[in-house]
Structure formats: structure tokens, C-alpha cells
């Protein structure tokens, strides 16, 4: 929902006249500063613990069901920025499609078979970049990164590891024909609930597994923030009284006043 700042200000003034500061205090306490919240382990310090999930080889058909998905719990906030950290092993980066799904069901494709311009997001065609990934060198998807996910591994050889051997560990999403534009697609969604980070494999022979998925969510916990057009964007409705509610309250107060005068 969205409530204009001017509306809130006018409402504050009129209600303050009627009821003192009863409603002004909670309205004035609305949070305005972003708070950074994170789940999972930070990029670059991951220690393998042996708990990795196999990515089904050559199984990707464009559906989430054909991918290996890890669940990442979210936090209750109005999302203003999302970054995704991933740690995985694989011997052919060009096999991989990576997607993230919000609790509201929004799907964003982070990686679409690097260095392969796939005609459709359905797992067909061949072959993409041949270099590798290793779980001890996690990488990050971030809209603010300077390197495209489509270029992952393209400056190193087929037996070298992206991030470890090219020192490029941050990428902006490149959906190609997959759904979504970038991680800003999640802005203004509510962050609580389960997020999914899914990895699919589209060619036989080279295999791998996904070991860690973590989200860094920026946003406003349970509150509102100013938008570029001067309005407030809120998770929950701000408590307010409708005109009929105000009229009813006025009648009750007037009745109570008359009753007290009558008693005297």
C-alpha cells in the first residue's frame, strides 16, 4: 500500500487537535532508516562442511522442479536490496542456470548458462563456458557488480576455477531468456518467508553440487520508507480513523459530555 506524506501530516494535525498526542506519537515513530539484515554465511569465508546437494545432471528443462533448490529463510522487512551468495562445485560453468524465488513467488534468473546465448530457457542446446567452480570460492550476485554473470569464467582455462583463479567473485544477473530482469525485481516485496535459490544443469557429462546459498536483504523491518515520488511505501497499513469512525467517536464523546452535564 502507499500513503502520501502530506495525507499523514494532515491526519496527524487533525487528530492531535481532537485527541492530543495519542496518535501522533506512533506516527512520528515510523522507521525511516534502512536496517541491514542478513541470513547465511558471508561470501569469502565459507568452510566446507560436507553438506552439499547434488545438481541433477542434464535435467534442467526450465522448471524449478528440475533444479537443485536450497531454502533460505527471509526476514520481515520491506525489501530495498537483495544480494545472493552461492558456493558450489561444478566442472562446466556453461551447464548452469541459477534462479532465486522470493516468498511471494517472484522468479529472477541470476545466471543463464554463461557464454551461451541459449535460444530458450528450456535446457536445450550447447555448450557455454568450460571452466569450473569450487565450493571454497563462493561468489555473489549483486546488481551493483561490474561483471556480467554471462561472462563468468570466460577469461580462464577449462580446468581453472572462477573466482579462485580470476579473482572475479561478484556478478550482476544476466537472465538471457529466463524470467526476471535483476535483483531489484524484489524491491518493495515483503521479505519474510522462505526464499529458494535453485541451480539447474543442462548438459550431460559434467556434474556438480551446491553447498551454500545465502541472502543479504536490505530493507525496513515492519515499516515504511519514502519513495522517489515522495510517498510512503508500507508493509502494514498505518492505523487511521475513517470519516464515519471519527463521526461515531464524536457522537460518543458528545453523549458522554451531555451525560456529565445532566448529572450536574
What is the contact surface with Ca ion in residues (CB under 5 A)? 57, 95, 112-113, 116, 176, 201, 203, 206
Work out how close the CB of 133 gets to Ca ion at its nearest, in angstroms, rounded to a whole number.
Answer: 12
Place of cell 450536574: 264
CA distances from 42 to 151, 176, 186, 195 (A): 23, 27, 20, 17
Work out how close the CB of 152 gets to Ca ion at its nearest, in angstroms, rounded to a whole number.
Answer: 10
Between 59 and 75, CB nearer to Ca ion: 59
CB contact at 8 A, 130 and 159 = no
Between 128 and 138, CB nearer to Ca ion: 128
Work out how close the CB of 201 gets to Ca ion at its nearest, in angstroms, rounded to a whole number.
Answer: 4
C-alpha cell at 43: 561470501
Between 95 and 185, CB nearer to Ca ion: 95
Give the other-Cβ count within 10 Å of 171's Cβ: 25
The CA-to-CA distance between both ends of the chain, in Å, stands at 48
Give the bridge partners for 87, in sequence order.
212
Between 85 and 118, CB nearer to Ca ion: 118
Give the other-Cβ count within 10 Å of 196's Cβ: 18
Helix, strand, coil share (%) of the chain residues, nearest 5: 20, 30, 50
Work out how close the CB of 128 gets to Ca ion at its nearest, in angstroms, rounded to a whole number.
Answer: 7
Between 86 and 203, CB nearer to Ca ion: 203
Work out how close the CB of 205 gets to Ca ion at its nearest, in angstroms, rounded to a whole number.
Answer: 6
CA dihedral 144, 62, 41, 78 (to 10 degrees): 60
Backbone angles phi, psi at 211, to 5 degrees: -110, -25
Work out how close the CB of 13 gets to Ca ion at its nearest, in angstroms, rounded to a whole number.
Answer: 56
Work out how close the CB of 231 gets to Ca ion at its nearest, in angstroms, rounded to a whole number.
Answer: 38
* Stretch (H or E) spanning 177: none
Between 40 and 175, CB nearer to Ca ion: 175
C-alpha cell at 9: 501530516
Place of cell 523491518: 221
Between 1 and 54, CB nearer to Ca ion: 54
Amino acid at each position: 500500500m502507499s500513503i502520501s506524506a502530506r495525507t499523514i501530516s494532515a491526519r496527524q494535525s487533525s487528530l492531535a487537535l481532537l485527541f492530543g498526542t495519542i496518535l501522533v506519537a506512533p506516527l512520528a515513530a515510523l522507521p525511516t532508516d534502512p536496517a541491514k539484515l542478513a541470513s547465511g554465511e558471508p561470501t569469502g569465508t565459507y568452510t566446507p562442511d560436507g553438506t552439499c546437494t547434488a545438481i541433477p545432471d542434464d535435467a534442467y528443462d526450465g522448471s524449478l522442479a528440475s533444479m537443485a533448490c536450497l531454502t533460505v529463510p527471509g526476514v520481515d522487512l520491506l525489501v530495498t536490496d537483495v544480494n545472493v551468495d552461492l558456493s558450489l562445485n561444478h566442472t562446466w560453468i556453461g551447464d548452469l542456470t541459477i534462479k532465486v524465488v522470493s516468498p511471494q513467488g517472484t522468479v529472477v534468473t541470476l545466471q543463464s548458462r554463461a557464454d551461451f546465448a541459449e535460444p530458450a530457457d528450456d535446457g536445450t542446446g550447447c555448450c557455454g563456458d568450460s571452466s569450473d567452480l569450487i565450493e571454497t570460492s563462493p561468489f555473489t550476485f549483486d546488481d551493483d557488480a561490474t561483471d556480467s554473470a554471462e561472462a563468468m569464467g570466460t577469461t580462464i582455462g577449462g580446468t581453472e576455477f572462477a573466482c579462485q583463479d580470476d579473482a572475479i567473485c561478484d556478478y550482476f544477473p544476466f537472465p538471457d531468456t529466463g524470467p526476471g530482469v535483476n535483483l531489484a525485481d524484489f524491491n518493495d516485496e515483503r521479505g519474510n518467508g522462505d526464499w529458494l535459490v535453485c541451480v539447474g544443469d543442462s548438459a550431460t557429462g559434467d556434474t556438480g553440487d551446491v553447498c551454500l546459498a545465502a541472502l543479504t536483504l536490505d530493507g525496513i523491518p515492519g515499516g515504511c520508507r519514502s519513495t522517489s515520488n515522495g510517498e510512503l511505501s508500507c508493509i502494514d497499513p498505518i492505523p487511521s480513523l475513517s470519516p464515519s469512525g471519527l463521526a461515531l467517536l464524536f457522537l460518543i464523546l458528545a453523549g458522554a459530555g451531555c451525560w456529565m452535564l445532566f448529572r450536574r
